[in-house]
Structure 1
């Protein structure tokens, strides 16, 4: 079976030119096509075995894109760097464990300072606790919004790691051996998860302040 090198290069170019049809993976697709083009261009036009292997790679790429377009699968993991993807996954796994431990450690120190009635240490531990909650909220957003595009299985694993800290440290707190709802901590976590909520609250506060200033200005000619 004869395979034309020029024909393969043309197919790769056509796929790249239609990258805008694939929206969120468009940039990844162009980068993939650039690498595949260079690889194909470096092959001798008489090396039909290598060219046929490239043809199969193009078939695989077209299949992945077709599945992505029909929402039957995601092309993010196939088009992205495998090394970067796995590094991000395992890096996040470690980060979740580290931040969960730090949070529980700070909560424990806060309870000790409350028992000792140390006001200055209490303020510091409350700040550190809320800072960690906000960061974990941001991490949870990243996992459920971006990691899920690459792997549903790894997303489930990372979310499962969040569950213990969410139940016993964020949404509820353990007091006198019983779980009690913690509204303040839940709000801080949600603000870290959804920065749009902060922007909306700040915009609303700014509008009220502006209206108050204008009304006072109108009342004092």
Structure 2
């Protein structure tokens, strides 16, 4: 099983070494950055599961970094960490769709709780989506052998597109490959459907 990969961004990251050791002992991989710019450069090269982001940093602020992270990948959960309890900062961060908000000083168990809350939620959604598609896969396979009208084909392709969008969100490459093979089969069967019915579509029934 791959380690969960954390990007922790704080200009005082050296002071957080005990927290990082705590997480690494629990099989998390922690990548550290000391500035927003450094974090954005790292995210351009590396896929991470979650970001812990200090709000008050020199150069690019935490809120500015948050906005740029969401442009790079809007699905990455970002936990904002700050010394400030000012309402406008909280509102800005929440408006930018942060996953969580922690006030310094944070202790390791707070970090662990935030990880489990956010990543387990994503895992449960992923598992549920995968399970639902596995059930729907069998139904779509049966429909492929029986579909015999334009409307039935339209309904079938709506289902395939729906599951394509769902599986893209959870990034399950295994399930996505199965869906792709099902789409290929559907295209082949639709081609045969067209070949069978093409002459009749041009027959003048009133003649």
Query: TM-score interval w.r.t. the shorter chain?
Result: 0.3 to 0.5
Q: TM-score, normalised by structure 1?
A: 0.39
The structure whose residues are more often strand, as a share, is 2
